């Protein structure tokens, strides 16, 4: 009831398409955590103007990692990928970020899957060289984001809605 008209328009409507605001699932993979890149990655999303609505460090179960990467089950690297995500040598830092076009912008900020093809200014393009150690995950579509947020942050209250004071300047 206290929202300004602009804030009312940008009010998060998770699960609804074509609204000004949307959410995506971003995860720093264990290699990114080991390398101390969590802060830099969080900063990039903050500085772009996005809102952090959930964050936790977690060693995912095998079941969670397999479900997360279910589309890749038939690929030759699948076992290695699940092992890399779940072996506990470092946690995954799982996050939900919110804001205008954050699903597509998040993918653009992260860069191509294979660091050989990711542009030098992207996160992967700046920090990694190997497709098997590409430090970060980001949902590739609105549908994937919805599924992944539910998978990683499915308990009530895990995603926290709040109103950034600067959104009248960044998201209008
Ligand atoms: P993205 O993470 O960019 O959405 P994919 O969904 O195609 O890319 O792949 C998921 C993850 O699987 C990649 O980020 C990477 O960690 C791993 N992966 C993809 N291709 C290979 C590969 N050829 N060899 C090893 N790991 C791979």
Which entry of 23, 51, 68, 137 is annotated as an active-site residue? 137
pLDDT in tens, the chain (172 residues): 333 334 444 444 444 444 468 999 999 999 999 999 999 999 999 999 999 999 999 999 999 999 999 999 999 999 999 999 999 999 999 999 999 999 999 999 999 999 999 999 999 999 999 999 999 999 999 999 999 999 999 999 999 999 999 999 998 8
pTM for the whole structure: 0.90
- Residue 97 vs residues 22, 24, 87, 161, 166: alpha-carbon distances, Å: 8, 5, 26, 11, 15
Closest Cα to atom 24, ligand 1: which residue? 132
Closest Cα to atom 1, ligand 1: which residue? 113
Which of the listed residues 30, 77, 82 should we mutate to test ligand 1's pocket, taking the one with most ligand atoms within 8 A of CB? 77
3 classed as catalytic: no
């Amino acid at each position: 009831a206290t929202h300004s008209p602009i804030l009312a328009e940008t009010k998060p409507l998770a699960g609804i398409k074509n609204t000004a605001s949307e959410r995506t699932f971003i995860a720093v993979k264990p290699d990114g955590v080991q390398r101390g890149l969590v802060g830099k990655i969080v900063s990039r999303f903050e500085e772009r103007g996005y809102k952090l609505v959930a964050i936790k460090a977690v060693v995912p179960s095998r079941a969670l990692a397999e479900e997360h990467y279910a589309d890749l089950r038939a690929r030759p690297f699948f076992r290695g990928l699940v092992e890399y995500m779940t072996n506990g040598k470092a946690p995954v830092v799982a996050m939900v970020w919110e804001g205008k076009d954050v699903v597509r912008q998040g993918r653009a900020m992260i860069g191509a899957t294979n660091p050989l093809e990711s542009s030098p200014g992207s996160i992967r393009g700046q920090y990694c060289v190997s497709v098997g150690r590409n430090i970060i995950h980001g949902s590739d579509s609105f549908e994937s984001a919805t599924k992944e947020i539910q998978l990683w942050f499915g308990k009530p209250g895990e995603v926290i809605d709040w109103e950034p004071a600067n959104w009248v300047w960044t998201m209008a």
